[in-house]
Amino acid sequence: MRHAILVLLQDQEASGYDLAREFANSIGLVWNATHQQIYLELGKLNEQHMVSYRHVPQEGKPDKKLYQLTDEGRAELIRWLKKPAGPARIRDAFMVKVAGGQLADTQSLLSELEQLAKQRRERLATFEALAKRLDDEGLEDNLYNYLTVRRGILDQRAWLQWAEEVRQTLEHASVGSATS
């Protein structure tokens, strides 16, 4: 997560709240983090002199901390970017449910599948709108963000295609077992 935060801070300073919003809207395509995780990591990065912050007074609220990348943080980010990434780890509880589906109620699986498909369609729409915005703003300034969003779009489309196959297969299997 530390490198995801450093990536988000590479071009501009941001508050913890801003970073959480960016995790939800952009880097969240590939890395999830809670507010608590972000603030905890910001504290560690600050202790390691990879980020620094300045206080910004706010009316009627506590001061806001705006974080920025330090030279040490930029050097760490560059070092990390040069290293090969390890294989992606997948943790998908629904896939485990599908794997154990012979013990499950098919209708429950189908219902959960439809809920997840709805979420994926919403995420796809968000990603497509973001890709269009990045394209409209000019890819020369947004190329790497655009490429990341495109991956998110393709992931959502592939998942939805798989979900349709699962739905059809389970519905067909249910009809076949009901007539046996």
Q: Residue 89: enclosing H or E segment and its boundaries?
A: none
Task: Count the Cβ atoms, other than its own, within 10 Å of residue 9.
Answer: 25
Record the tokens describing residue 91, joined without a space: 């943790």
| DSSP three-state, residue 48 | coil
Q: E strands, the chain, where?
A: 51-58, 61-69
Instruction: Please name the fold of domain 2-82.
Output: Arc Repressor Mutant, subunit A (1.10.10)
The pLDDT tens digits of the residues spanning 146-174 come to 998 899 899 999 999 999 999 999 988 87
Residue 64's φ and ψ, nearest 5 degrees, are -95, 140
Q: Which residue has the tokens 């973001």?
A: 130
Domain chopping of the chain, boundaries: 2-82, 93-179
Rounded to two decimals, the pTM is: 0.74
Contact 53, 46 (CB under 8 A): yes
The pLDDT tens digits of the residues spanning 63-118 come to 899 999 999 999 999 999 999 988 888 788 999 999 888 888 899 999 999 999 99
